[in-house]
Chains A and B, each alone.
Chain A
Amino acid sequence: MPSEELIADHVLEFPGGYTRTTGPVIGRFLTELRDGRIVGVRTAGGRTLVPPLEYDPDTGEAVTGEFAEVGPAGTVESWAWVSEPRKGHPLERPFAWALIRLDGADTALVHAVDAGDARAMRPGLRVRPRWRAERTGHITDIESFVPEVTRIVSPVRAEYRVKPGKSLARFLEGVERGIFLGCRCGSCGKVYVPYRLSCPECGVAITEEVELPDTGTITTFAINNLPDPRAPQVPFVSAYILLDGSDIPMIALVGDIPAHEVRQGMRVRAVWVPEEERTASMSNIRWFAPTGEPDAEL
């Protein structure tokens, strides 16, 4: 038997934490942070370093004593996404470590960006600091950076009570009984379906009601490959169907036949739902199906 492995937990932590003397440059930066401002320091060459350094890394010279407020907004230059944050990380949810160049700065600052989703991150993303309410003069006085507001969701919803109107109500009464109601214009003699109260050509009132058969001819059609809640499957055929005795086609589904076998001129008949399921609605007609008659001349 191998002996049990010897394992022990150990913590190395300087009691109370180390103290650091900031020096005047870093001290100014942290003091401004505590007040909710971000400053950079100018180099002799005129660059603004954020976060400030005490000595110009380009020349080795001391930086000037001149400080400039930058940001608070900045632009993401590059980032690494942290999908599983660890204990010491600034956020408990996934976030990005990012190089952020604050407006007015010549160098980038490393900080966390709380973007919600890695897909929200991109070079050029504009971000702003989210400050802690209680600040102590530490880089974590900025809890994280967050993207600027560029888009809002604007819910629009209108609720209506809809009445079908006299003519459509009359038509739907017919549909409830399994009949297509149309009408004949007294002026031009054209037969319209659905039933309507005036002629769109002549502008006169229509008074003569006509009962039309539920058979007709497909004049033309589309094979739809995009799904629609009113169609049972994809592809589905929406067709212009000229009911026998009517002068205007209506648009309806065609079924009981593969989509690519539908033809212009094909003779069809309405397929009604069983009588006990009928309501005053077009859903009474499941679709139109081929009658098997020879095609009509168009």
Chain B
Amino acid sequence: MGNRCAVIGVGQTHYTTKRRDVSIAGLVREAAVRALEDAGLTWKDIDAVVIGKAPDLFEGVMMPEAYLADALGAAGKPMMRVHTAGSVGGSTALVGASLIQGGVHDRVLVVAFEKQSESNATWALSTHLPFSASLVVGAGGYFAPHIREYMRRSGAPDHIGTLVAVKDRLNALKNPYAHLRIPQISREMVESTPMLWEPIRYLETCPSSDGACAMVLSSEKAVTGTPAWVLGTAMRSEPIFRAGRDTVNPQGGKDCAADVYRQAGIADPRRDIDVAEVYVPFSWYEPMWLENLGFAAEGEGWKLTESGATALDGDIPWNASGGVLSSNPIGASGLIRFAEAALQVRGMAGEHQVDGARRALGHAYGGGAQFFAMWMVGSDKP
């Protein structure tokens, strides 16, 4: 795994429908400044900058990293951009970490963002090239059939998706940065909202958010403040069209989890991990990923959700921050998972802190559930 790496600063913007008061540069800057403040550092302490961003077509700014260099104090420093679809936020953190682990740099600023109010992701994901032989309607249209197949295979009752939709929004009420804050959230409310892409209801989907998230990553000798130690990092991908590909329980996700658990010494994820921030943009992906990530046996994930085990007061809280279901600046959503995992083991998650969290999983996925990025962070030096 290379040299030791730690998260020493986390910065987030408030996630919201429209940040009309700032440009894209202003948005990423806000998160970066907060991460630097958290680390007690200034721009000159940063060796390199890694930017993560979903497809350029989302905002129509081509190669935004070039324009954002100034806003991130990157003039004269190595700067690069990462793009792995929805998992990009996670991959961004991992690329940044690799620069520390490989001994190239001592302090790397990683930042990811999306300003969804300046575009329309469903449009950008459904541009319909001529001659195309496929019919996909946005992310929801893509994932709905795989959720239906999960429900058929596992025999999960219909209300499981509703439970996750409520649980994550209740957690969001404890997170001052969360976008969707619905104090009266209830199963009845979720069930009363229309089906968009059946079996996915409106309140079982993530919102469209503006926002940015940043972290300062550090080598062991450059640590300031309270570190979250990186215990393991892994990325996997697989082709979207491959005969026999399991779209419900993708092999890439299983392999990625096995790799990161091996590095971090996790034998039983449910027992050995204290809190997980997992990319759940549609509520049914919680039971699906519970199985994919080894927290439950195949076909059993929904039982864990139903039992309350993944609630904030359960034995393995998932998405204490409210998750992607409550805040979704797409390019940043993965990085937020990784950052929230770090905040938990640093004991700095505020009202949604899981007591005594020492080991946390950060997870992101993207494309047609074909790109995976994960890390384990811990309060103890590995």
Contact = CB atoms under 8 A, between A and B. Distances in A.
B106 to A, nearest CB: 38
A255 B188 CA distance: 32
Interface string B111-132: 0000000000000001011111
22 contacts: A150-B20, A150-B21, A168-B131, A168-B133, A172-B131, A190-B243, A200-B239, A200-B241, A201-B244, A220-B149, A220-B152, A222-B141, A224-B197, A225-B196, A226-B196, A228-B126, A238-B136, A238-B145, A247-B243, A251-B135, A251-B136, A264-B148
Contact of A253 (B135, B140, B200): B135
A226 B241 CA distance: 25
Given A194-B133, A221-B145, A226 B243 contact: no
A248 B145 contact: no
Specify the main secondary structure of chain B where it touches its partner.
Answer: loop
Contact of B198 (A151, A169, A235, A264): A235
A219 B149 CA distance: 8
Given A220-B149, A264-B152, A298-B152, A281 B131 contact: yes
Q: Which range contains the number of B residues in contact with the other chain? A: 20 to 34
Nearest to B197: A222
Interface in A3-37: none
B102 interface: no
B176 interface: no
B125 to A, nearest CB: 12
Given A190-B243, A225-B197, A282 B148 contact: no
B214 to A, nearest CB: 24
Nearest to A281: B131
A225 B193 CA distance: 12
A192 B243 contact: yes
A238 B137 contact: yes
B197 A162 contact: no
Contacts of B148: 220-222, 264
B135 A238 contact: yes
A101 to B, nearest CB: 19
Interface in A145-166: 150-151, 154, 156, 162, 164
Interface in B167-225: 194-198, 200
Interface string A164-192: 10001101100000000000000010111
Contacts of A225: 194-198
A63 B146 CA distance: 75
A230 interface: yes
A222 B145 contact: yes
A201 B133 contact: no
A162 B130 contact: yes
B242 interface: yes
Contacts of B134: 250-251
Interface in B41-74: 60
B243 A201 contact: yes
B197 A201 contact: no
A24 to B, nearest CB: 41
